Amino acid sequence: MKLFLNFDPCIECKEMMTELSSEEMLFADDEIRADVSAKFLRHLTYNHNEVVKAVMSEVKSQQRSPEFDLYK
C-alpha cells in the first residue's frame, strides 16, 4: 500500500528524512535502517495528528482486495 500524505514537516521531520535518504543509510545494514525508520514513524505518530488521521481515513476507505487461496 502506498500513501501520499500532504502535511507540513517540522524541522525534526526534515532532519530525519534527510538522514533516511542519505548515501550512508543506503549502504547501512537492515537493522540500522529499520531503527531509523521506526524512529521517524514514532515521531510522525506522536507529533503529527494530521498524519495519523489521514492514514486512518485512507485505510478505512480502501476495500480489502480479495484473497485467493492458492492451496485449495
Angstrom distance (rounded) from CA 56 to CA 37:
19
Angstrom distance (rounded) from CA 59 to CA 62:
5
Q: How confident is the model at residue 64 (pLDDT cuts 50, 70, 90)?
A: low
Residue 54 lies in a domain: yes
Residue 50 lies in a domain: yes
pTM for the full predicted model:
0.67
- CA 15, 58, 5 angle in degrees (round to 5)? 25
Residue 17 lies in a domain: no
Angstrom distance (rounded) from CA 11 to CA 9:
7
Is residue 32 pLDDT above 80, yes or no?
yes
What is the residue range of 51's domain? 29-59
| 34-59 confidence digits (pLDDT tens) | 999 999 989 988 998 888 888 888 77
